[in-house]
Amino acid sequence: MIKKILKYFAIFLVVVASLYGIGRLSVVMYDSYKYVDRQPYLQKVSQNGVVVIWQTPKEELGCVYYGEKKLDKEVCEDKATQYHRVEITGLQKERRYRYSVDAASIKVDNLGRSFETLNDDVNRTQRIWVQGDSGNFNSAQQENYKAMMKYVGDDRKIDTWLMLGDNAYRSGSQKQFNKGLFNAFTEMLKRHVVWPVIGNHDARRWAFYDIFEFPINGESGGVASGSESYFSFENGNVHFVLLDSQTVDRDAEGEMAEWLKKDLSANQKLWTIVIFHHPPYTKGSHDSDSYYDSRGRMVQMRENIVPILEKYDVDLVLSGHSHVYERSLLSHGQYGYSDNFDAAKHVVQSDLHSYHKCNKKVSFAGTIYNVAGSSSEDSRGINPFNEPHPMMPISYFTSGSLLITADADTLKVEMVMRDAKVLESYMIMKSEKYCRAEQPNK
C-alpha cells in the first residue's frame, strides 16, 4: 500500500513539474515575443549605412525619408508587416543625416530625428556615454540621464552610447524594454544608436537579441564575428569590443575567445575599450571571489578572458552587474582571487588619476578595470567601501554614469553622479616617449 502511495505521489510530482515547466516556458515565450508599439530607433550604424526599426499595431508598409539638409531620399518596404526594418545604404562617413519615418497606424514623433555615420578620423575628439544596469525606470535613472545631458550640454555632443547590461529590469521582456529603455530615453534614441551587452536580467527572456541588431560581418569595423553575442565596431580612433559574459561559452579556447584573439590582433586603433556585464573584480553588490555568485561567470571572465585582453593591450574594461562604482589602477596579471593580489606585482602605475602608455601596442602594458553598474541604482551620496577589492582601490556606493572623452593622445573618464557633479576622474595618455623596448613583467 505504501509503495503504491509513493508511486502515485511520484507521478503526481512529475506531472506538476511538467505542467510548471510548460507554463514557465509559455510565460517566457509570451514575454519575449509579445507585440508592443515601438517608436523608430537606430541600429547597426556604419560609415556608409544604418538600420531603422519600429513596430506598429497593424500590418502596413513603412517608409524612411532622409537627407543631409532636405529629406530628399526615401527607402520603403515592399511587404506589409508589424515589425519594420529599413536599411539605408550608400551614405558618406562622418556625416549627419536627418530622417523621418512614415507609419499609418502609429503616430511617429519625427521631431529632431537625425543620425551620424561612423568615422575614421583619428584626430577627432569623441565623447562616449556609458550606462550600467540602467534598466530600472525610476528617479535615479532619469536623474542620471538628465545629469549627463546637463554636463555635456546637448545629446548631440555624444558620439557613442554604450550600455553594460541589465538594460531592462526585472526580466528583459518586451514590455520591460519599452519601459526601461525605449520610453525612458526617447530623445537619445531619436539620434543615437545604443550599443548594449546582455546582462543576467536581460537573459531571463529572449527579447534582447530580438530587439537589437549588431554588425556581425565586420560592417562597422573590426573582424567579423558571425555572432550577435560578441562583435566589435570602430569610431574615430577607438576600437570597441562587446562580449556576452552571460549566455555563451567563456572558456579560454571557446568560440568567443578565439574570435577575440583574432579581432584584437588585427586592431590598429589607438584606444581599445572592451565591455561585458560580469566584472572580473568586484566587492560591491556581487563578489567576484565567489564561484557561487553568478554561477562562476566573474571568475571565468577573469581567468579565461582577461589574460587575452591584457596580451593585446586593451586600455579599458567596463562592466556592470555590481550596482556600485569601482576602479583599478593601471594593472595586469591578477587572474586569481583577491587574496592573491600583490600590488608590487600587479600594479603597473600607482598614481590614482594619471597613467602613461606607449602609443603602440605593448602586451601586458596595463589595463584599467572599471565597474559602473549604478545608472539606475536609487542611492544618494558618496559612501566608500569599508573593504574594497584590493584590485579596486577607488570604490564607492553611489549612483551615476560615465563620460569618456577620447582624442589623439588622451583618454579621460569621468564618473558623473545624479546631481551632475563629478565623483572622480582619471586619464590615460599615450605618446612615443612612453614606449620602451622591454615588455612589463607579466
Alpha carbon dihedral 265, 435, 242, 229, in 10-degree steps, equals 20
Whether residue 269 contacts residue 239, with contact meaning beta carbons closer than 8 Å, is answered with: yes
Note whether 48 and 183 are same-domain residues. no
Phi and psi for 60 in degrees, rounded to 5? -160, 165
Cα–Cα–Cα angle for 265, 271, 275, rounded to 5 degrees: 80
252 and 272 both lie in a single domain: yes
Question: Can you give the residue range of the structural domain that contains 25?
Answer: 1-33
Nearby residues of 356 by Cβ (< 8 Å), 6 or more positions away: 349, 428, 429, 430, 431, 434
Q: Listing from the earlier edge strand, what are the strands of the sheet with 194-196?
A: 194-196, 160-163, 126-131, 400-406, 410-417, 422-431, 354-358
- Smallest CA-to-CA distance from 42 within 161, 148, 208, 134 is with 161
Beta bridge partners of 296: none
> Grid coordinates representing 323?
550596482
Task: Say if residues 128 and 242 touch (Cβ distance below 8 Å).
Answer: no
How many residues are present in the chain? 442
Let me know whether 135 and 98 are in one domain: no
Q: Are residues 297 and 399 in the same domain?
A: yes
Are both 100 and 44 inside the same structural domain? yes
pTM, two decimals, is 0.94
CATH of the domain at 347: 3.60.21.10
φ, ψ at 430 (rounded to 5°): -120, 140
SS3 4: helix
What is the per-residue pLDDT for 436? 76
Torsion angle, CA of 352/354/355/360, rounded to 10 degrees? Answer: 160
In a domain, 158, yes or no: yes
Q: With left for phi above 0 and alpha for psi between -120 and 50, is residue 37 left, alpha or beta?
A: beta
Q: Is residue 326 part of a domain?
A: yes
Closest C-alpha to 73, from 93, 97, 52, 54? 97
232 and 366 part of one domain = yes
Q: How far apart are CA 411 and CA 432, in angstroms?
A: 16
Q: Determine the Cα–Cα distance for residues 380 and 180; give it in Å rounded to an integer.
A: 20
Q: Are residues 234 and 317 in the same domain?
A: yes
For 292, the 3-state DSSP assignment is coil
Nearest-angstrom CA–CA distance, 42 and 113: 10
d(CA 309, CA 190): 33
Instruction: State whether residue 395 is helix, strand or coil.
Output: strand
**What nine digits make up the cell of 199?**
546582462
Q: Specify if 442 maps to a domain.
A: no
Q: Are strands 347-349 and 330-331 parallel, antiparallel or unpaired?
A: antiparallel
- Residue 439 within any structural domain of the chain: no
Q: Is the peptide bond before 205 cis (omega within 30 degrees of 0)?
A: no
Q: What is the CATH number of the domain that holds 102?
A: 2.60.40.10
Low-confidence ranges of the chain (pLDDT < 50): 13-29, 437-442
User: What DSSP state is assigned to residue 41?
Assistant: E
337 with 427, same domain: the answer is yes
Of 77, 98, 116, which one is at a domain's C-terminal end? 116
Cell 584599467 sits on residue: 368
CA distances from 42 to 150, 226, 406 (A): 23, 21, 23
Number of domains present in the structure of the chain: 3
Residues 6+ apart with CB under 8 A from 183: 137
Q: Is residue 297 part of a domain?
A: yes
DSSP-derived 3-state class of residue 238? strand
Are residues 228 and 160 both part of a single domain? Answer: yes
| Shared domain check, 292 and 153 | yes
Whether residue 139 lies inside any domain: the answer is yes
54 and 29 in a common domain: no
- Give the C-alpha separation, 371 to 349, whole Å: 19
Answer whether residue 26 is part of any domain. Answer: yes
The pLDDT score that the predictor gives to residue 32 is 73
Asked if 263 and 139 sit in the same domain, the reply is yes
Q: Is residue 121 part of a domain?
A: no
Max Cα distance, the chain (Å): 87
